[in-house]
């Protein structure tokens, strides 16, 4: 018997069963109707909106980042990259792959103004 053998779990575990939506140490919430309504509202109430589709990472699912002409932005989970581009096309919003083009400078400027209290 090795030194740490007594600490290994054998057979049954007293720990609760893992949640199907849990991956590693993080919980991944799927996109839902509330996310879609939020994105639709953002597009309908802002001018000059562009979409930036962010790929799935180890921590997050695919997200759609919408940035208005003044740099105001919102980000929500979406079912897939294709869904995000289709959403943008349906709402006549240009969409780009964020991994290729990055995010616009006006978004960073907006964040800086907001942090400084100018918004």
Query: Does the reported pTM lie above 0.95?
Result: no
Q: How confident is the model at residue 117 (pLDDT cuts 50, 70, 90)?
A: confident
Give the Cα separation of 107 and 52 in Å (integer).
12
Q: Kindly provide the residue ranges of all beta strands, DSSP E only, lying in 21-115, ordered along the sequence.
A: 22-23, 26-27, 50-54, 63-67, 73-77, 95-97
Q: What is the pLDDT of residues 56-113, one digit of tens each?
A: 999 889 999 999 999 999 999 999 999 999 999 999 999 999 999 999 999 999 999 9
Domain ranges, ordered by start, for the chain: 30-116
Q: What is the pLDDT of residues 2-27, one digit of tens each?
A: 666 665 655 554 444 444 444 454 55
Q: What is the pLDDT of residues 29-72, one digit of tens each?
A: 667 789 999 999 999 999 999 999 999 999 889 999 999 999 99
Vertex 93: Cα angle to 89 and 99 (nearest 5): 90
């Amino acid at each position: 018997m090795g030194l740490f053998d007594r600490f290994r779990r054998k057979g049954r575990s007293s720990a609760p069963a893992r949640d199907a939506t849990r991956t590693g140490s993080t919980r991944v919430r799927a996109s839902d109707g509330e996310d879609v309504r939020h994105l639709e509202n953002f597009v309908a109430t802002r001018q000059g909106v562009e979409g930036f589709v962010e790929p799935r990472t180890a921590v997050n699912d695919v997200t759609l980042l919408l940035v208005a002409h003044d740099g105001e932005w919102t980000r929500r989970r979406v079912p897939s990259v294709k869904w995000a581009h289709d959403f943008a096309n349906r709402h006549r919003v240009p969409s780009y792959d964020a991994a290729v083009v990055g995010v616009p400078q006006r978004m960073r400027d907006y964040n800086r103004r907001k942090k400084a209290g100018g918004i």
